[in-house]
Structure 1
């Protein structure tokens, strides 16, 4: 199985956004999907759930107040220590019992509002969720490769001074790559898009082709430039580290071909990667991986 380093970026951002809204119940995309499927059922169960939790609270308060009263009446010292605690517990218990129906109604209403807020927040984060779903699928597919393959998720670098792309007149200060695969045939820069046909035709969306070419250029210069000091040494000199660019479309895919960038559906990904001839041995491959893993932000 492929050796994996790092978490996918959309999933990290998704969790951070959910936490900023006070939502901590989701640990994975599967949890979110399950919530959306079971939303109506969970909403329907709210009155029974609230009643059950309130009944348990009443029972616990009754038991706690009874114990506090026994300790209060034990002797003079404990009377002083437990007098206010017993009174507070008795009042809390009485308040719940005497206002039972009103409490159930208020708590049910609060639960409805919280559940609706969670649903609205999750639905509003659909682009992030779609991105996380797509990247998670790509990671799952790449993990089917052998342990001679190394995957770095959410790979990013900063450059100081920036790398200058003369052809594009572009100074590159940083790059971020969805997935960087290191293997004996070189490096594969992978950008994942879980796009619909409408998104593919949307002129307002940034071209993933230009995005991946820009990152690949900077990474190639970083690894093979004059300042790299030759990461892979050979008795003939420093070996170049080739980089190939792949855009993985986990939903719809464009019909066009693009120069220097391969666009693939998910089920063709591993076959394309394994097509290329090995040029590094296992030690060299691991060295490249460790070097890049240490360099990433």
Structure 2
């Protein structure tokens, strides 16, 4: 089997772009394509999940509101019983005083005691309802909060679902946008992977170097293109007993084929062939070969 070095260049570009944007949960071109293909279904699935969550929250709130009302009712009932018991005890104390006293001192102290009890009874009656209403105050505030949320869900269910799913949908949409920015590299990777799979079937007399990069210092002059070449990049460099072959893989649309701004693959091959010829034929030429490595492929 053909000896292969490096993964393909398009995968390196895709991985670098995703990492720069904080996306690390994709490990192959297939996963990226599956994400794009299932985007609409995934988005609807998120909305459906959050719709179920809001329904569950509504049901939970309904039960919690009922429980809180029960707690408040029990607290107020207990408070009312205690207040009434206190009033009864005060009235009983008042009734126990004798109608006549043996001397002026006892008559005066009895008067003060009865006055104090009557004042206490009057005060308890005045604040009777208020104290009952205040009972269970710790539950009352929570009840108001739950009731407001429950009423909001009832009146604005779709809005509640949108708010609940917003963060997850924003993350999904951001991934879609970031991936679409490297669509050309994704489809380029598909073509390059097909080339690599075919070349891997060659015997071990062949060596395949993917994403071959070479830099020149000083730059070499390319007369045919009237330019100085500082660096070259070759998608696939195949070294065989018959010679060295340069392979460029393109997965272009018709628009790309007709664009005058994109360099012809033939021109790329000619330019890279000239530079490679210089490397192989001029032993004294200073150049730097960079064989990039990454775990995709």
Instruction: Compute the TM-score of the two structures, normalised by the length of structure 2.
Output: 0.57
Give the 5 Å matches for 1:123-202: 123-202=180-259
3-state SS in 1 of match to 2:284: helix
Q: In 2 relative to 1, CA 166–47 (structure 1 residues): closer, same or farther, beyond 3 Å?
A: closer
Q: State the partner residue of 1:14.
A: 14
Structure with more of its chain in helix, by fraction? 2
Deviation at 1:32, TM superposition (A): 0.9
Paired with 2:198 and 2:273, the residues of 1 have a C-alpha distance of: 22
Paired with 1:117 and 1:5, the residues of 2 have a C-alpha distance of: 34
Q: State the partner residue of 2:173.
A: 116
- Report the aligned-residue RMSD: 2.9
3-state SS in 2 of match to 1:223: helix
Q: Deviations over 1:7-42 (max 9, x none)?
A: 111111111111222222211110011112221221
3-state SS in 1 of match to 2:279: helix
3-state SS in 2 of match to 1:219: helix
Q: State the partner residue of 2:279.
A: 222
Q: State the partner residue of 1:23.
A: 23
Paired with 1:167 and 1:33, the residues of 2 have a C-alpha distance of: 40
1:296 to 284, 290, 297: 290
Any conservation in 1 of the 2:9–2:235 contact (CA below 8 Å)? yes
Any conservation in 1 of the 2:217–2:230 contact (CA below 8 Å)? yes
Q: State the partner residue of 1:40.
A: 40
Unaligned runs of 5+ in 2: 57-141, 154-158, 292-297
Any conservation in 1 of the 2:215–2:289 contact (CA below 8 Å)? no
Q: Deviations over 1:173-201 (max 9, x none)?
A: 21111110111111111111111233222
Larger Rg: 2
3-state SS in 2 of match to 1:157: strand
Q: Deviations over 1:30-70 (max 9, x none)?
A: 00111122212211221465678xx9xxxxxxxxxxxxxxx
Q: State the partner residue of 2:3.
A: 3
Paired with 1:226 and 1:21, the residues of 2 have a C-alpha distance of: 43
Paired with 1:34 and 1:175, the residues of 2 have a C-alpha distance of: 33
Deviation at 1:121, TM superposition (A): 2.2
Using CA pairs under 8 Å that are at least 6 residues apart, name the structure with larger relative contact order, 1 or 2.
2
Q: Deviations over 1:210-267 (max 9, x none)?
A: 1211111111111112527xxxxxxxxxxxxxxxxxxxxxxxxxxxxxxxxxxxxxxx
Q: State the partner residue of 1:64.
A: none
3-state SS in 1 of match to 2:249: strand
Paired with 1:41 and 1:175, the residues of 2 have a C-alpha distance of: 42
Paired with 1:129 and 1:156, the residues of 2 have a C-alpha distance of: 20
Instruction: Compute the TM-score of the two structures, normalised by the length of structure 1.
Output: 0.57
Paired with 1:106 and 1:212, the residues of 2 have a C-alpha distance of: 54
